[in-house]
Amino acid sequence: MEKERIIERIMELKEKRKAIILAHNYQPPEIQDIADLRGDSLELSLKASQTDAEVIVFCGVFFMAETAKIVSPQKKVLIPVAGACCDMANMLPPEEVVKLREKYPGVPVVTYVNSTAEVKALSDVCCTSANAVKIVGTFSDKRILMLPDMNLARYVQRFYPDKEILYFEGFCPFHHMLTPEEVLSAKKAHPKAVFIAHPECQPEVIDLADYVASTSGMLRLAKELPYEEFIIGTEIGLLYPLSKENPQKKFYHPAPEKMLCPSMKKTRLEDVLNALERDEFEVILDEEIRKKAYQAVKRMLEIV
Ligand code: 13P
Ligand code: SF4
């Protein structure tokens, strides 16, 4: 089937099935273009909790679709590519959280949404890269345990010198790989450009950043700031919406080959059509786990 026909079919089925298509900012351009909402993890989970659609087609990685199911259990949540996983979420098994809770009794556990439903179910509250600093600030405790991203934890630590942010040593391979040398070389090549980093980057990279933001935070900054040139320290997919929304501005990437999340690139228009035609692949969660995970996600959504 040709591309236009596939899109037409997707739109017909979407209407018929009262479905909504959500896409993360890193998804391929043609997927972003057909989505009802494109956004960062926080915007997408908020939308999933508020929509009156009957079916949510989630174009992203598995933890994102799972989060949609956690907040909207009565809806059918479909992920067009079953094997689209987040390498960071896969680093932390629930048994490890149990062990850490035993090691640090009474310490609140703040878990990045880039985690499995089982891990969320063992957490006190969730956070995303857009609200992690705010969420941690709601605790008066001196010690907080952040899971599973050590780089996000070390970024949050900068805001709370009086607290000790404990962490699990997980990371996003694609953000963690960006080196300060690559950033310095991009800055040298583009001396007028402002550098914006994602908090999943290493502390040495964050030190070089003019701004630190979530993916949608980067989109807002690019639009609002008066500068013309930007070096973008996040997954390469974000350059598409950045350039589309700001055609007069220039965006550079310090390590385009390395910072590419393969799972985010798997969704094709055919997969979205298949999801709507055959209900593939439905996200099913154990209700006990979902309910516990919901408490942690709900607490986050009440704070933001
Ligand atoms: P955002 O919530 O900033 O979009 O980040 C999600 C993610 O997976 C970053 O790698
Ligand atoms: Fe996970 Fe990293 Fe991919 Fe984001 S870019 S979905 S953190 S593996």
pLDDT at 187: 98
- 155 and 298: one domain? yes
End-to-end, the C-alpha distance of the chain in Å comes to 43
DSSP readout, 113-137? SSS-HHHHHT-SEEE-TTTHHHHHH
- 30 and 157: one domain? no
pLDDT at 1: 84
Ligand at minimal distance from the CA of 260 is 2
- 64 and 98: one domain? no
- 97 and 167: one domain? yes
Ligand at minimal distance from the CA of 174 is 2
The predicted model scores a pTM of 0.98
Burial 290-304 (b: 16+ CB within 10 A, else e): bebbbebbebbbeee
pLDDT at 124: 98
Antiparallel, parallel or unpaired: β 125-127 and 109-112: parallel
Centre of ligand 2 from the C-alpha of residue 59, in Å: 13
- 107 and 131: one domain? yes
- 111 and 187: one domain? no
Q: Are 253 and 275 in contact (CB under 8 A)?
A: no
pLDDT at 64: 98
Centre of ligand 1 from the C-alpha of residue 149, in Å: 12
Q: For residues 155 and 129, give the distance between their C-alpha atoms in angstroms, rounded to a whole number.
A: 10
Residue given tokens 């900054």 in the structure block: 221
Could you tell me the two tokens for 295?
A: 């408490």
Q: For residues 143 and 270, give the distance between their C-alpha atoms in angstroms, rounded to a whole number.
A: 47
Centre of ligand 2 from the C-alpha of residue 170, in Å: 12
- Indicate if ligand 1 lies below 6 Å from the C-beta of 116: no
pLDDT at 304: 85
Centre of ligand 2 from the C-alpha of residue 246, in Å: 25
SS3 144: strand
Centre of ligand 2 from the C-alpha of residue 15, in Å: 31
Which CA distances in Å does 11 have to 3, 184, 280? 12, 45, 17
279 φ/ψ sector (left φ>0, alpha ψ -120 to 50, else beta): left
Residues in a beta bridge with 7: none
- 237 and 273: one domain? no
Residue given tokens 């070390």 in the structure block: 154
From the number of C-beta atoms within 10 Å of its C-beta (0-12, 13-18, 19+), residue 142 rates as exposed
Domain span holding position 210: 178-258
Ligand at minimal distance from the CA of 171 is 2
**Nearest-atom index, ligand 1, CA of 42:** 2
Centre of ligand 1 from the C-alpha of residue 177, in Å: 15
pLDDT at 4: 98
- 67 and 98: one domain? no
Q: Which residues of the chain have pLDDT under 70?
A: none
- Indicate if ligand 1 lies below 6 Å from the C-beta of 115: no
Could you tell me the two tokens for 119?
A: 């891990």
Most ligand 2 atoms within 8 A of CB, residue of 40, 41, 42, 235 to mutate: 235
pLDDT at 56: 98
Residues in a beta bridge with 214: none
- Indicate if ligand 1 lies below 6 Å from the C-beta of 157: no
- 241 and 222: one domain? yes
Structural domain count, the chain: 3
- 136 and 277: one domain? no
- Indicate if ligand 1 lies below 6 Å from the C-beta of 51: no
- 15 and 43: one domain? yes
- 187 and 52: one domain? no
Query: Residue 133 maps to which CATH number?
Result: 3.40.50.10800
